């Protein structure tokens, strides 16, 4: 089982995730239409580029936009979760040993204490998001089974990873389930709302171009939309 998961399935999950998202990225931008979207993307590349970059950049920064600032508690929970969810998988020392072995490259790594901290921070953020879904009527009405599925898919690699990290019970079991759930997540990315991991950049870039070209950018507005 372990051999299969760290062998062919490992490569397959990465391939499905990255090729799948490359295809979706391509289809997204190919599907943009200046006339249907009513945005002259090609006629004003500079204004469009500036708008897109500003929009992505500002929304990636905690409290970087008016929108984030109006909902501070949500913003804190959101970033606690997302910083952990992005940084831990990419920069955990253990993950990078595997990356080096399997693919011949690795990212800079973080210390164990930092990884623990970010992981718990992500779990705390995620639990807050769950709580929000349960408690707030305006979020509850939007929530469907898929939303819970995605939260579970995201929660499992963290939970199993931490269980393995603290060697709670059978280390081998937790490690195997950690790899399994991590790969499941990778498989799911292109086919579910998890695609937002990549499509966030596409969607934000589009609205940034829209405002940057048509809705203020060319009149000198420099805000992030």
Binding region for another protein (CB under 8 A)? 27-40, 42-44, 55, 59, 66-68, 70-71, 74, 78, 129, 132, 136-144, 147, 193, 195-196, 199-200, 202-204, 206-208, 210, 213-217, 219-221, 223, 225
Among candidate residues 176, 175, 75, the one with its CA nearest the CA of residue 129: 75
The least distance separating another protein from the CB of residue 51, rounded to whole angstroms, comes to 11
Distance of closest approach, residue 200 Cβ to another protein, in angstroms:
6
* Phi/psi of residue 92, nearest 5 degrees: -65, 135
Shortest Å distance, C-beta 73 to another protein: 11
Closest CB to another protein among residues 44, 178:
44
Q: Which of 179/213 has CB closer to another protein?
A: 213
Q: Which residue in 148, 144, 157 sits closest to 129, CA to CA?
A: 148
CB of 16 to another protein, least distance (A): 18
Select 25 or 117, whichever has its Cβ closest to another protein: 25
Residue 32 gets the label, from left (phi > 0), alpha (psi -120 to 50) or beta, of beta
Name the maximum alpha-carbon separation found in the chain: 62
Is the C-alpha dihedral spanning 79, 81, 84, 85 positive or negative? Answer: negative
């Amino acid at each position: 089982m372990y051999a299969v998961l760290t062998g062919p399935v490992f490569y397959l999950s990465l391939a499905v995730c990255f090729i799948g998202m490359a295809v979706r990225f391509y289809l997204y931008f190919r599907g943009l239409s200046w006339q249907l979207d009513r945005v002259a993307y090609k006629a004003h590349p500079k204004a469009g580029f500036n708008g897109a970059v500003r929009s992505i950049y500002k929304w990636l920064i905690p409290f970087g936009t008016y929108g984030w600032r109006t909902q501070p508690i949500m913003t804190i929970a959101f970033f606690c979760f997302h910083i952990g969810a992005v940084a831990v998988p990419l920069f955990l020392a253990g993950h990078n040993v595997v990356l080096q072995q399997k693919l011949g490259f690795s990212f800079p790594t973080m210390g164990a204490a930092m990884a623990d901290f970010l992981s718990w921070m992500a779990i705390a953020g995620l639990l807050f998001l769950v709580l929000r879904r349960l408690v707030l009527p305006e979020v509850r009405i939007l929530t469907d089974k898929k939303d819970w599925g995605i939260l579970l898919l995201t929660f499992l690699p963290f939970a199993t990873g931490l269980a393995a990290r603290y060697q709670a019970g059978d280390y081998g079991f937790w490690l195997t389930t950690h790899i399994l759930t991590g790969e499941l997540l990778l498989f799911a990315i292109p086919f579910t709302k998890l695609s937002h991991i990549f499509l966030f950049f596409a969607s934000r870039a589009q609205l940034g171009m829209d405002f940057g070209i048509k809705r203020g950018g060319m009149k000198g507005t420099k805000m992030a939309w």
